[in-house]
A and B are shown apart, each in its own frame.
Chain A
Amino acid sequence: MNSLTVYLVVGAVLFSLGLFGVLMRRNLIGMLISIELMLNGANLNFMAFNRFLAPEPAVGQIVTLFVMGIAAAEAAIGLSIILALFRYLHSINVERARRLEG
């Protein structure tokens, strides 16, 4: 448990699961949840590097805090967009939002 690689792999698994969710889910809120997972995977990496490699332990924590802030902003904006889209399409299925079809 005290090895960097373990944390990195855990982070990678979280990130990839999140990615998978983003790619697969049709529910926009589900995609948002998956994005949160990806962000957490990245956070875990930051904290792991901070713990095992970094010269200054405060910096990694600060970066993680910032990521959390960004995540909060992203969630707020994302949810509001989803609500707007729902009003517009009466659905939160991304596959219905295909105005870009070629």
Chain B
Amino acid sequence: MMWFAKDPVLMAASACATLPFLAMAVILIFTRQHRRVSAAISLSAITMCLLSAVYLLMTLRHAPGPVQYQWAWIISSDMIIPFGFLLDRLSLLMLTIVAVIAFLVQVYSLGYMAGDPGFSRYYAFQSLFAWAMMTMVIAPGMLQLYIFWELVGLASYLLIGFYYEKWSASQAGKKAFVMTRLGDIGFFLGIIAVLLGFGDLGILSMNEAAQAHKIAPFVVTLSSLLIFCGVVGKSAQFPLLTWLPDAMEGPTPVSALLHSATMVAAGVYMMSRIFPFFAASPDAMAVALAIGTITMLLASTMAMVTHDIKQVWAYSTVSQLGFMVMALASGGYFAGVFHLTTHAGFKALLFLCSGIFIHEFHTNDMREIGRGGGRKLTIPMVCMTVGALALAGIFPLSGFFSKEAIMGVLAGNPNKIWLLAGLLGALMTAYYSFRLIFMILFPREQTHGAEAHGSHGHDDHGHEEGHHGATFWAMAWPVMILAGITLVLGFFQKELEHYLLGAGPALHGAEAHGEGAGHGLGHYVLLFSAVSLALGGIVWAWFEFGRKKATQEGFLRRYPKVEALFANRWYMDHFYRWLVDYVVYCGFTNLFTRNDRRVIDGGIDGICRFTVGSGRVASFLQSGMLQYNLVLMVAGAGALVLFFVL
């Protein structure tokens, strides 16, 4: 233990990698009946992690290179699989984000989950989630990353299906798990491809070797594409994006955590983690760019029609993740990570605010929240507006800076279609987020036919009570902190950029053309157009939802087919259903059933018949006559000796 205590950095890293797990174990084993104790254990663990993460960030801020502690876990001839911690600028930044968000969410949950029968279980899973994510962030090798990646998936499954007695919740949990698993298969195959083609799973060595073109190009492309499948699953990119909106079934703080810093961020984080490796394969980058763009646009359209407050933010998460993937795929390492950072802040903020509304009004429908008097909850309303402004990319807020960085990178791409797509996405983002804000701020009584259960008397009552209770403040404080972060984070762009890129000269190559084109006159044109588009989106939303005589129906109401298309998520779930029904159930299952009946059962029966028959044939050997047995034994022994001697 002495060497351990002598190295505070290692101690802090180990604290992040163990404490929440211990907290989970203790809660699940000992303190399930004592909810206060459970919450205290979980919170103290995450606080320790937060302190450790900040300490690490402060200590290693000026470290010349990555600090790596690793122990060989499996060594087999040329293959080395390490286990340990990799503390470099990226992982420390992400570690801090995760710790901050997880901490705030856990504090918030004190209020949100108060009185829930599964309170202790909730905190245990939260700890598991935080542990898995933090250990994943500081993983030095792809295999460790993969293991904790899957643990993150497990934790999110447990939390999405937290209300397991609800059919839709357990279904959503399963859906999330299975769909991300589809991507993870690709990820794992990608790891195997790296192992076969390169032989080392260390992230640093992979990046260096790919940058120095020491790995065969097709190996890089193949494994990048396969690993990108993991990103597609985890970060809800195009073909696998429908699990994320369904993940709303979990408690709202879980959604906040899931959407900002942990589950979905894991995919983008992993992509930036091995960014030089990706960057070495232009083909994989092109695929990623296309998928990111499609995701971004699709999700934005979906967000424009739903009335579920959480689903709006869910779709916006998907589309912002698409933005990040676009940024990374067009070479903007910093832009992607920066947007990941700011997005973590404001998306957590948005979800936590929505959580307050949902907690107060017991509904997810934004129209009912508006009618119930959502505007009277000043703090969350203001904070949510701040978050929405950041999401739309309006000037002084963090989203503005990161979005501008991404636009700059996209502008550097010779093909301008990506830039156009990005600008379109910005417009839609502003539109749908302020559609939500205005709908809550300026409710209309006569919008919907189903008026009877519109305004609940007890809602107002509950809200009056909650306004002053400790529960409310436990929820309000994290929200305000996050709003503050959202307000100021953008001004640290230069510092962050310097911090992230200062050390890694390897990263500059891909960065150069993206950033270089961003400055100059074109930069300002771009900046202006992006901001004006965002403002245009807001004005558009005001015109349709905000102003006094607005119908609050949206222009899409006039195109019912398009609206249906958007509302049904472009029929992707139907397509999957069809695929499962016709291809899996009718095709594969049928084949498998036949295989099971004919081949496997038949084979087993055949073996049985053969055994019985041969037993009948061979039973003459068991005549019960000692001497025949002896004859065989002696002959066998003699033959054996002869075989070895001659």
Direct contact of A and B (CB under 8 A): yes
- Does A94 reach chain B (CB closer than 8 Å)? yes
Interchain CB contact under 8 A, B630 and A100: no
Given contacts A23-B627, A94-B625, A101-B624, 15 further A-B contacts (CB under 8 A): A22-B627, A22-B630, A23-B630, A23-B634, A24-B627, A95-B627, A98-B623, A98-B624, A98-B625, A99-B624, A100-B622, A101-B622, A101-B625, A102-B622, A102-B623
How far is A14 from B626 in the complex, measured between Cα atoms in Å? 22
How many Å from the CB of B594 to the closest CB on chain A?
38
Interchain CB contact under 8 A, A94 and B622: no
Contact with B634, one of A19, A101, A102 (Cβ below 8 angstroms): A19
Which residues 478-521 of B have a CB within 8 angstroms of A? none
A76-102 CB mask vs B (1 if < 8 Å, else 0) is: 000000000000000000110111111
How far is A102 from B623 in the complex, measured between Cα atoms in Å? 6
Give the residues in chain A near B622, CB-CB below 8 Å.
100-102
B608-646 CB mask vs A (1 if < 8 Å, else 0) is: 000000000001011111110011001000000000000
Chain B residues at the A interface, C-beta cutoff of 8 Å: 619, 621-627, 630-631, 634
Interchain CB contact under 8 A, B624 and A100: yes
How far is A6 from B434 in the complex, measured between Cα atoms in Å? 109
Interface on chain B toward A: helix, strand, loop, or mixed SS?
A: helix
How many Å from the CB of A34 to the closest CB on chain B?
11
Complex: chain B residue closest to A102, CB-CB: B622
Give the residues in chain B near A97, CB-CB below 8 Å.
626
How many Å from the CB of B532 to the closest CB on chain A?
94
Contact with A23, one of B621, B624, B631 (Cβ below 8 angstroms): B631
How many Å from the CB of A95 to the closest CB on chain B?
6
How far is A99 from B627 in the complex, measured between Cα atoms in Å? 13
Scoring B621, B623, B626, B634 by chain A CB atoms within 10 A of each residue's CB, the highest score goes to B626
Contact with B624, one of A19, A24, A102 (Cβ below 8 angstroms): A102
How many Å from the CB of A25 to the closest CB on chain B?
8
Contact with B625, one of A19, A22, A95 (Cβ below 8 angstroms): A95
Give the residues in chain B near A19, CB-CB below 8 Å.
634
How far is A19 from B630 in the complex, measured between Cα atoms in Å? 10
For this complex, 27 residue pairs linking A to B, each with C-beta atoms less than 8 Å apart, are: A19-B634, A22-B627, A22-B630, A23-B627, A23-B630, A23-B631, A23-B634, A24-B627, A94-B625, A94-B626, A94-B627, A95-B625, A95-B627, A97-B626, A98-B623, A98-B625, A100-B622, A100-B624, A100-B626, A101-B622, A101-B623, A101-B624, A101-B625, A102-B621, A102-B622, A102-B623, A102-B624
How far is A29 from B353 in the complex, measured between Cα atoms in Å? 99
How far is A23 from B624 in the complex, measured between Cα atoms in Å? 14
How many Å from the CB of B611 to the closest CB on chain A?
14
4 nearest A-B residue pairs (beta carbon)? A102-B622, A101-B624, A98-B624, A100-B624
